[in-house]
Chain A
Amino acid sequence: MTIVGVVVFPGSNCEQDAAEAVRALGAHAEVLWHGEATVGDVDAVIVPGGFAHGDYLRPGAIARFSPVMSAVAAFARDGGPVVGICNGFQVLTEAGLLPGALQKNRGLAFVCDTVSLRVETTDSVLTCAATTGDVLRIPINHFEGSYTCSAETLAALRAEDRVVLRYVDNPNGSVDDIAGLCDAGRNVVGLMPHPERAISDLLGSSDGVVLLRSLLEAASGRSSRLAS
């Protein structure tokens, strides 16, 4: 069975949602405490939302010193699928696993809404089971979610097809409507929206399923390659 590790920092608050979503899709979820310098034998890692270490200094700034982050970085370098959601995205940018930064939303508004996202590439661990051009309804819930980066980084993201998801109607001022992006290896993805909160019509949308199913496919594909 595919095992997904869900990292928990002091102040994380979406780890149970992420674990529950993973279990609902038939995989095993394992909580990884931030103080442990290992990710064990997981096939994929989710860095969930919340306020890791209270967002002290900057969101994600302290979390990157947690022992587990060295293990997550090593897992990512090794090609392991890693997805950072919301605060997890902020943690991955601060840890240098993804380029750019998340700043306060345009208009200084905390945004809590369900928005439309367009799948821009299927060449990433979060979208490999989706279709380019798909429009997904996914909740967002953040104050510091306006993605920004240098002009050179933006040019590279575009040229290398690394913008994974774009907002159809930009809610926070993110540059180039970017809602999610991947690293050069395409196995590390960060996004502000919460696919784990959109896994059932009872929750208002099940459009997150295709994203999490992509992650599980990428994870099982990798583990069977490693086993062979």
Chain B
Amino acid sequence: MRFEVLVEVSLRPGVADPQGQTIERSLPTLGFAGVHGVRVGKAIRFELEALDEPAARAEIADMCDRFLSNPVIEDTRVTVTATDPAR
């Protein structure tokens, strides 16, 4: 099966996010007064061939742990969507 994968990498709670803090401090100067808790991360998208969704998720978890994120400071959130469910 083919899957579309979105891996969102973000700093773990408690890890200082100076980019997020800077954005949060800047928004009020444009009149956006109600913004709180800004966190900056990155999004990694790719397509993956795998036997089924559990197999895809297991492989992605391994990728995240060993390469796509640094588990010391980063968390990941994975979204998997099957693109050809008929096959």
Chain B CB within 8 A of A57 CB = yes
Contact between A108 and B22 (Cβ–Cβ < 8 Å)?
yes
Chain B binder among A76-84, A97-105, A130-138, A209-217: A97-105
Docked Cα-Cα span, A108 to B16, in Å, equals: 10
Q: Which of B18, B67, B68, B72 contacts A149 (CB 8 A)?
A: B72
**Interface size class, chain B:** 10 to 19
Q: Which of A106, A146, A150, A173 contacts B72 (CB 8 A)?
A: A150
**How near does chain A come to B51, taking the closest CB pair, in angstroms?**
26
Q: Mark A170-196, 1 if CB is under 8 A from B, else 0.
A: 000100000000000000000000000
Nearest A residue to B22 via CB reads A108
In the bound complex, residues from chain A placing their C-beta under 8 Å from that of B70 are 58, 61, 94, 101
Contact between B73 and A173 (Cβ–Cβ < 8 Å)?
no
Residue of A94, A105, A148, A150 most packed against chain B (CB within 10 A): A148
In the bound complex, residues from chain A placing their C-beta under 8 Å from that of B18 are 104-108
Docked Cα-Cα span, A103 to B17, in Å, equals: 9
Given contacts A108-B22, A148-B73, contact A103 B68 (CB under 8 A): no
Chain A CB within 8 A of B15 CB = yes
Contact between B68 and A106 (Cβ–Cβ < 8 Å)?
no
Number of interface residues of A (CB under 8 A): 18
Given contacts A61-B67, A108-B22, contact A101 B73 (CB under 8 A): yes
Chain A CB within 8 A of B19 CB = yes
**How near does chain A come to B38, taking the closest CB pair, in angstroms?**
13
Nearest B residue to A150 via CB reads B72
**How near does chain B come to A109, taking the closest CB pair, in angstroms?**
8
Q: Which of B19, B67, B68, B72 contacts A104 (CB 8 A)?
A: B19
Q: Which of B15, B19, B68 contacts A108 (CB 8 A)?
A: B19
**How near does chain A come to B81, taking the closest CB pair, in angstroms?**
23
Docked Cα-Cα span, A61 to B11, in Å, equals: 16
Given contacts A104-B19, A108-B22, A173-B16, contact A148 B67 (CB under 8 A): no
Q: Mark A69-103, 1 if CB is under 8 A from B, else 0.
A: 00000000000000000000000011000001101
Docked Cα-Cα span, A58 to B73, in Å, equals: 11
In the bound complex, residues from chain B placing their C-beta under 8 Å from that of A61 are 67, 70
In the bound complex, residues from chain A placing their C-beta under 8 Å from that of B68 are 57
Docked Cα-Cα span, A198 to B73, in Å, equals: 31
A–B pairs, 13, beta carbons within 8 Å: A57-B67, A61-B70, A94-B70, A101-B72, A101-B73, A103-B15, A103-B73, A108-B19, A108-B21, A148-B15, A148-B72, A149-B72, A173-B16
Query: Could you tell me which A residues sit within 8 Å of B by CB distance?
Result: 57-58, 61, 93-94, 100-101, 103-108, 146, 148-150, 173
